Amino acid sequence: MTAIPQLIEYIGTWLAAAALLTFIFRIWKRTFSLRLAFTIICGVVPFIRYGGESVAGYVLGVYGSLSIVTIVLVGIKAAENLTLEKYITRDERGITYTLLAAAGLVLYSTSLGLTGFSAYRSGLGSPSFVVGLFGVAVLLTFLRLRLPALLIAFAVAAFQLRLLESVNLWDYLIDPLLFFFALVLSVNYWIRQLVKLVRNP
């Protein structure tokens, strides 16, 4: 792994550790100074070595590379935990997870050979795919859905700069763990919306 992709992966592991450990230890209930110190300390976690390998190395070895979208999302969550501010509304977050779940269903179902079409191949530098994503981002911006539009922009920009080792745009947009969480969280979001609709017709 070259220097820049490795750095990006370590940053992603750091932000994921900060978001997860803050949730586990309920650090958001502490003072800002303690939250800041804890977030910085979490930056050491990816570099801790055990058995000749770093924590980040183990995680990435088992799980694989984190997508740019995952890194941005855990970065936003880490920032929210640190500042106790909500930068994304619940509805916007729910719709974003729904879009990610839908994208994952298309990607992974076609990658299993269930159809004659493989969505993953379209990510290998296909201009039409990039143009299509640009159109989707413009539409989302018009609908005032800033988060998914921002995620697409970051992923495409990172792909053009080759900030990850992969040469496939899909690997910048989504990864298996993100798909799993997006699927669960989107189902939870729409169940809540349905319950709200039933209670307040």
pTM of the model: 0.87
Q: In the structure encoding, which two tokens stand for residue 186, read together?
A: 């989107």
Q: What is the pLDDT of residues 2-28, one digit of tens each?
A: 778 878 888 888 888 888 887 777 776
Q: What pLDDT score does 28 carry?
A: 67
Closest by CA position to 171, among listed 117, 127, 114, 111: 111
Amino acid occupying residue 133? L
Q: What pLDDT score does 125 carry?
A: 75
Spatial separation of the C-alpha atoms in residues 48 and 56, rounded to whole Å: 8
DSSP state of 67: P
Spatial separation of the C-alpha atoms in residues 152 and 142, rounded to whole Å: 14
Please answer whether residues 58 and 51 qualify as being in contact, where contact means their C-beta atoms are separated by less than 8 angstroms: no
Q: What pLDDT score does 1 carry?
A: 55
DSSP state of 66: P
Mean pLDDT of all residues belonging to the chain: 87
Q: What is the pLDDT of residues 62-117, one digit of tens each?
A: 777 889 999 999 999 888 888 888 899 999 999 999 999 999 999 988 887 767 77
Q: For the chain, how far is it from start to end, CA to CA, in angstroms? A: 55
CB half-sphere exposure, 105, CA atoms < 13 A: 10
Which is it for the CA torsion 1, 44, 66, 133, positive or negative? negative
Contacts of 41 (CB under 8 A, 6+ apart): none
